[in-house]
Amino acid sequence: MKEVTHVDWIRGITLERVTVVNKSEGRHECIVRTLKNTELVGQCDACARRHAPTQLRCAMTRREPSPLVEPVHYVFGTQTIVPGIWELDGGQETFNSSLSREVWVQRAPTAATRSGALLLGL
Residue 79 φ then ψ, to 5°: 60, 30
89 in Cβ contact with 25 (< 8 Å) = no
Name the average pLDDT for the chain. 91
Q: Which of 68, 44, 72, 39 has the alpha carbon at shortest distance from 56?
A: 44
Average pLDDT of the residues in 101-107: 95
Gap between the Cα atoms of 29 and 11, Å rounded: 15
pLDDT tens digit sequence for 69-92: 999 999 999 999 999 999 999 878
The pLDDT score that the predictor gives to residue 2 is: 57
In sequence order, the β-bridge partners of residue 88 are 104
pLDDT tens digit sequence for 24-75: 988 999 999 999 999 999 999 999 888 999 999 999 999 999 999 999 999 9
Gap between the Cα atoms of 28 and 96, Å rounded: 21
Gap between the Cα atoms of 58 and 118, Å rounded: 24
**pTM: predicted TM-score of the whole model, two decimal places:** 0.89
Output the CA–CA distances (angstroms, integers) from residue 96 to 33, 104, 122, in the order listed. Answer: 10, 20, 19
